[in-house]
Amino acid sequence: MFGFLNVYKPAGMTSHDVVAVLRHITGIKQIGHTGTLDPFAEGVLPVCIGKATRLIEYLNDDKAYIGTVQLGSSTTTFDIEGEIVNSSDKKVDLEVIEKNLELFRGNIEQLPPIYSAIKVKGKKLYEYAREGKEVEIKPRKVNISRLEIKNFDKEKQQLSLIIECSKGTYIRSIANDLGERLETYGHLIKLVRIKAGDFNVEDSVQLKSLDSKEKVEENLIYPSKKLNLPTYELTDEEKIKVSNGMALTITNPQGEFSPIKLMYKGELAAIGKNVQNQLKCEKVFI
């Protein structure tokens, strides 16, 4: 079995739980996902099966979410799973929110939550938090390419946002930081990932419907369909060379060191890179 699955992860499960379920159903150990979702979150979780796990690094990794923020209170984890640590009775209106959202668009520096899996000195941040130890957290550069209001309930002070962003962006941090900018507080109460790279929520499959090996196979996506890479068609002679791990001399090279998708009769044969007009294979699948 070789390919990708566009799985809709339900709330209440970890990303690793999804992988464990699929391993049990298929009997295949070589399964991995391309981007962790918090347990309370739901939505698109691309899963790689078999040798497709070797292609994770070539997949587009931008993300898109719909996040719902509860204004007026903040929590230890910046989301609904944490304990409330601050609260405010202040009511914010839509115009003020819109004005402050501009500060979060484009290239920004973001401070990750203390309850996150980022490692500092070889230890995960949430481990420091659980031990009650202080640790210096450095801001990280992220890109927010789209940040729009989807809905706002002024009475409940609940704000739904559409967010398109780069890999590594914490939506929980946006909720917390926006609350502070509005001179109140905020935390994330719902998160749905609607896009992960080229995997969209409209095409996703509910995990509960993948209840057999046959169902998994039916929903497999052939890897080349999700690899947005330049394509090089192999001749019969070149296919033999590639299968033996040999480099190819090419006359119309792509960009230096850029990954290239090598295809043979409709099948993905390998991923290669142009190095000084030599097409060298990095991952071979035939």
Domain ranges (residues) in the chain = 3-61+198-225, 68-187, 229-284
- Would you give the DSSP letter of residue 268? E
**pLDDT tens sequence across 197-235:** 999 999 999 999 999 999 999 999 999 899 988 888 999
Residue 178 has pLDDT above 90, yes or no: yes
- In DSSP terms, 146 is beta-bridged to 164
H or E, element range at 33: strand 31-33
- Do strands 186-196 and 73-75 pair parallel, antiparallel, or not at all (unpaired)? unpaired
What pLDDT is attached to residue 36?
A: 84
Residue 253 has pLDDT above 60, yes or no: no
| Number of CB atoms found within 10 A of residue 59's CB | 21
**pLDDT tens sequence across 5-54:** 999 999 999 999 999 999 999 999 999 998 888 889 999 999 999 999 99
Q: Which CATH class is domain 3-61+198-225?
A: alpha beta
What pLDDT is attached to residue 196?
A: 95
Cα-Cα-Cα-Cα dihedral of 282, 143, 70, 162, to 10°?
A: -80
Residue 252 has pLDDT above 80, yes or no: no
Residue type at position 246: M
- What average pLDDT does this structure show over 193-200? 96
Please give the distance of CA 45 from its chain centroid, rounded to a whole number. 7
Three-state DSSP class for residue 246: coil
Which of 15-19, 132-136, 245-249, 265-269 bottoms out in mean pLDDT, i.e. has the lowest? Answer: 132-136
**pLDDT tens sequence across 107-165:** 999 987 776 666 766 767 667 667 677 676 788 899 999 999 999 999 999 999 999 99
What pLDDT is attached to residue 127?
A: 73
Cβ(39)–Cβ(13) under 8 Å?
yes
pTM summary value: 0.90
What pLDDT is attached to residue 129?
A: 62
Catalytic amino acids? 38
Please, which residues have CB within 8 angstroms of residue 279's CB and are 6 or more apart in sequence?
Answer: 232, 247, 248, 249, 250, 253, 260, 262, 272, 273
- What average pLDDT does this structure show over 56-73? 95
Q: Which fold has domain 229-284?
A: 2.30.130
Do 3-61+198-225 and 68-187 show the same overall fold? yes
H or E, element range at 19: helix 15-26
Task: Please give the CATH architecture assigned to the domain spanning 68-187.
Answer: 2-Layer Sandwich (3.30)
What pLDDT is attached to residue 273?
A: 87
User: Which pLDDT band holds residue 280 (cuts at 50, 70, 90)?
Assistant: confident
What pLDDT is attached to residue 118?
A: 67
Which of 154, 140, 28, 53 is closest to 96 using CA atoms?
A: 154
